[in-house]
Structure 1
Amino acid sequence: MPNTKISAKELIIAKALEMYNNCGVEYVGVRELAKELGIKGGNITYYFPTKNDLLREISNRVTESNAEILGKSKIPGLYGFLEMNRLLYFNQYKYRSYFISLPLWLQQDVEFAQTYQAMQVSRRVTFTQELKTLATGGYLLAISDEDLAPLLAALSITNRLWISEATLDGLIADEKLVVNTYLGRLAGLLNFIASEKGKADIRKFLKELK
């Protein structure tokens, strides 16, 4: 029985994510999800009493999978930083409907908004340390704490909103194309503050994207 319940729960999550990605979170409710799965709505609300409960589960999986990527041993330098972001971008693409609907959800769910903001603070600390390490290693030009703040803001905007921009640009249907396109833009942003050593890493990374 426990295995059956876990299997059913995973099936619901997988189908919900598929439908959210194809149709949009706002246009898929319990009724539509149950019809697609060929089950009763009660089978879904048993695991997820509300749609927000289902969305929180998806959010937890985004956070956990991102943390796993960030926790892996990284290749040194800007090449390694960009490679880490490549893995993050592909993971974001898997959960793209979540990121597209995120601004509206943050407005509607105060509890989730507080959790999300705390997570962003933690993420900012991680990326601050990454950039300082790159500067110390000679891959980035020397950056003052004052100059670091707008750079972090630009990276944050790029990393959080690229999926929404890609949707508006009509690129979102092609996973590899869209990820490579926006990784290229991220690399271009970093190129402005990269040393010659760092620029060599960027060129190597971009060459492998082709």
Structure 2
Amino acid sequence: MSNSSIDKKIISAAVTLFNEKGLIQTSFRDIGEALGISDGHVRYYFRTKEALLLAVFNQMDEEILSKVTLVEEHLGDLHARLKGQIEHVFGVMASYRFFFMESPKTLGQYPELIHAYARLMESRRQLFLMLFSELGKRGVFHVGFDGPTQERVFQTVFLVSEGWIRTHYLSKGTAPDRAAIDSVTTLLIGLIAPYIEE
């Protein structure tokens, strides 16, 4: 493995193991064994589990944003584009499902991760509100879709997004599949649809 790619391979192996075994049960030794390297080699790239988790978290965020676009010049079929982007986001989240299945108590042991999460939530809030504002200027939303309503919709969307994987796992006993992604995508579109002009 070249030095330029080993950190990505470590992150990939860690995600697989965190999804399979959980955060607490996965050690650096497990990650090293999965890659055929020593746990010391893993620690050379990520000195602590928190450093590794932050790298995983940042990679997840980059993947989520990779296909999410703001308003294009021509809106086209807004419903289809919105559906495609939401499905992409939920597909990425399902790939990193351990983040959404671990208990807050477990994740709370990593203060830098908690700070990164808080920053992400605020950046998502700003992104949504900017998108709502831009679409509103283009006549996509009803006039009544004002600031406080937009804030409530964002909060609801964020809570649904954070909880759907855990809810699916607890009710079905399996990781989310395509049907689960389709279902939560439909739910989210249903939250926004009443505010969209015909």
TM-score, normalised via structure 1 length = 0.79
Per-residue displacement from partner, 1:41-81 (whole Å, max 9, x unpaired)? 11211111111111111011012222322347757234322
In the aligned structure 2, how far is the partner of 1:102 from the partner of 1:61? 21
Aligned 1:81-120 pairs, distance under 5 A = 81-101=82-102, 103-104=104-105, 106-120=107-121
- Among residues 31, 36, 39, which one is paired with 2:37 in the alignment? 39
Per-residue displacement from partner, 1:142-182 (whole Å, max 9, x unpaired)? 31222222111101111222222222122643531221111
Aligned 1:17-36 pairs, distance under 5 A = 17-36=15-34
The 1:105–1:64 alpha-carbon spacing in structure 2 relative to 1, beyond 3 Å, is: farther
Report how many residues are paired.
194
Q: What letter matches 1:162 in structure 2?
A: W
- Among residues 172, 175, 187, which one is paired with 1:173 in the alignment? 175
User: Structure 2 stretches of 5 or more lacking a match?
Assistant: none
Identical aligned residues as a percent: 21
Are 1:99 and 1:164, in contact at CA under 8 Å, matched by a contact in 2? yes
In the aligned structure 1, how far is the partner of 2:136 from the partner of 2:56? 35
Are 1:34 and 1:44, in contact at CA under 8 Å, matched by a contact in 2? yes
The 1:178–1:138 alpha-carbon spacing in structure 2 relative to 1, beyond 3 Å, is: same
User: Structure 1 stretches of 5 or more lacking a match?
Assistant: 198-210
Greater mean deviation of Cα atoms: 184-193 or 70-79: 70-79
CA RMSD of aligned residues (A): 2.5
- Among residues 145, 161, 164, which one is paired with 2:163 in the alignment? 161
In the aligned structure 1, how far is the partner of 2:86 from the partner of 2:180? 14
In the aligned structure 2, how far is the partner of 1:26 from the partner of 1:170? 23
The 1:60–1:79 alpha-carbon spacing in structure 2 relative to 1, beyond 3 Å, is: same
Q: Secondary structure at 2:83's aligned position in 1?
A: helix
Q: What letter matches 1:26 in structure 2?
A: I
Are 2:19 and 2:98, in contact at CA under 8 Å, matched by a contact in 1? yes
Q: Which residue of 1 aligns with 2:124?
A: 123
Q: What letter matches 1:66 in structure 2?
A: I
Q: What letter matches 1:103 in structure 2?
A: P
Q: Secondary structure at 2:45's aligned position in 1?
A: coil
Greater mean deviation of Cα atoms: 105-114 or 157-166: 105-114
Are 1:78 and 1:139, in contact at CA under 8 Å, matched by a contact in 2? no
In the aligned structure 2, how far is the partner of 1:25 from the partner of 1:109? 11
Q: Secondary structure at 1:190's aligned position in 2?
A: helix
Q: Which has the higher helix share?
A: 1
Q: Which residue of 1 aligns with 2:133?
A: 132
- Quote how far apart the aligned CAs of 1:6 are: 2.7
In the aligned structure 1, how far is the partner of 2:176 from the partner of 2:113? 30
Are 2:50 and 2:113, in contact at CA under 8 Å, matched by a contact in 1? no
